[in-house]
Amino acid sequence: MNWSLLSKLLGMLSLLVGGTMALSLPWAFPQLGVATEFETKGFLGILAAMVISLAVGGLFSWLGKNSQGTVLHKEALAIVGLGWLLAGLLGALPFLFSGTMRTHDTPMTLIDAFFESVSGFTTTGASVLTELEDPQMIPKCVLFWRCFTHWLGGMGIIVLFVALLGHLGGGGKALMQREVPGPLNDTVKPRVREAATVMWEIYVGLSLLLTTLFLLCGMSIFDALCHTFGTMATGGFSTYNKSIGHFNSVSIELITTLFMVIAGTNFSLFYLMIGGQPSSRKSHWFSRLASLPQDPEWRVYISILLLATLVLAGNLLTRGVYDSVATAFRHASFITVSIMTTTGFGSEDFSQWGEFAKGLLLLLMFVGGCAGSTGGGLKVVRFILFFKVMFMEIEQSFRPKVVRSLRLGGENLPASLRHDVVVYFSLVLFIFISSWMTLNVIEPDTQWAVSQTHTEAEKLIDCASAVAATLNNIGPGLGVLGPASNFSGFSQQGKLLLTLLMLLGRLELFAVLVLFFPSFWRYQ
């Protein structure tokens, strides 16, 4: 392990996180430069967090000032895994120093703040805060920082890191491969810094467009920015307890739905359409846009969204939840897209929709968006490959001499990918079941004893949804974790487990798992 290089890059990452906190400071002065006492405390809290972050960054950079060599596979894993842990810890400081309250009589603990920070950076959107609209519970500047962590983590703080630094060489490719969900497109790999820069430019451009549309729909600049961060990052943090449902606006829901679909699309496709290939730049913009449905993963992604929306809307109408077809499709489409893209915004409390609807949404939690998107979950392309591998194995059982290669979109894929897909599904299944059982054991029955209607079976289901919601970076779950509730009632050890699951889901397991292997640190 190149400890000097690791220290230097972690230091630069700390400086980046600390520097971005400055963007939250102006929101402490909402009325002509006059801040309330609580907002002033929030301002000073973020300022103190900035100083500590910059000091930590300076210390790590000084320790690594004589670093040599480049980022290899092992260093890339360590930088991404430790970098996200460090960002989560530094991002927690504004919550701790600002006096942010978890409930009216309970201040945030270090674990609460770490949970909220990691939830932001990993674009999970799970929260322990109970009263977002109370100015005496959370300062406005801290509320902005909470949402801004989504935007930083959506495209990836490491991808931004690669885009800003020009001297990483092949190390930038190694870093992006460890952070960007799913495999990178082959056309992106040779020019990794250019790809990172273009992807961030697309990300910023779409964010500016969405902010403008929100403003035209009547949102304030603060709400427009915060909900843009949550939408483009598929995160789901809102400035209101009722999330998007607070606005009760069809236009806002339609715009949010469209941009959630966009955010769940592989950004490598946008890169190829806009700046990835010289030939694509010469062609007409409409023909480049028309090439999007040619991607097999995107076609399946859209098909699942449409089919799930139709089934869910039909179920809601059949059960009499809504008496209007338009209303049923309005909420079914929004919630379907929100859950499958792992955004987690809410327009309605879907935990009241019945068992079939909740079961369907629980399944969509595991699907997620496309590889290379800001969405979480297992990714659509992995499900495509998994079913291909499954059918190949079944065929081989009765035609053992037939040898077929794994193909996608008319291209032969590496034989190793067959093994990788099965291993990934197996690991996710093992982590889900073991975490589910662990959470069910360590959590007291307090949350489920509030009402006579809650039972042990409901606790089992709610714990399963808590694991699914955090491992797949979604946010809201079922039952006591529905869109009208949050994670504040979970124990401290439960929150630590769920925080680890958020990191595992966002970094696709391996960059976090290797940190627990002594041999990873011991050998070259």
d(CA 493, CA 500): 11
* pLDDT (0 to 100) of residue 435: 95
Average pLDDT across each block of 10 residues of the chain; the chain has 524 residues. List them in order: 84 92 88 68 93 95 80 78 92 93 87 94 90 86 94 75 54 55 47 70 92 95 95 91 91 95 87 58 51 82 95 93 91 94 87 86 89 86 90 84 78 81 91 94 73 62 88 81 79 94 88 86 68
- Supply the pLDDT for residue 285: 46
Name the token pair of 317: 């109408």
Whole-number Å distance between alpha carbons of 23 and 222: 12
**pTM (two decimals):** 0.89
Q: Does residue 127 sit in helix, strand or coil? A: coil
Q: What is the CA angle 500-501-502, rounded to 5?
A: 90
Distances (CA, A) of 223 to 123, 171, 246: 18, 38, 11
The per-residue pLDDT for 325 is 93
String of DSSP letters for 390-405: HHHHHHHHH-TT----
- d(C-alpha 66, C-alpha 351), whole Å: 55
- Contact assessment for residue 156 and residue 179, using Cβ atoms and an 8 Å cutoff: yes
Q: Looking at residue 185, what is its pLDDT?
A: 45
Spatial separation of the C-alpha atoms in residues 118 and 140, rounded to whole Å: 19
DSSP string covering 142-196: HHHHHHHHHHHHHH-HHHHHHHH-S--THHHHHHHHHHSSSPPPTTTGGGHHHHH
Question: Phi then psi for 34, rounded to 5 degrees?
Answer: -105, 120
Q: Which pLDDT value is given to residue 434?
A: 95
Exposure string of 369-402, with b = 16+ CB inside 10 Å and e = fewer, is: bbbbbbbbbbbbbbbbbbebbeebeeeeeeeeee
- Give the DSSP letter string of 454-470: --HHHHHHHHHHHHHHH
Could you tell me the CA-to-CA distances from 410 to 294, 420, 466 in Å, in that order?
A: 11, 20, 38
223, 239 Cβ separation under 8 angstroms: yes
pLDDT per position as a tens digit, 62-84? 888 877 767 777 777 888 889 89
Question: Which residues are CB-neighbours of 12 under 8 A, at least 6 positions away?
Answer: 57, 61, 161, 165
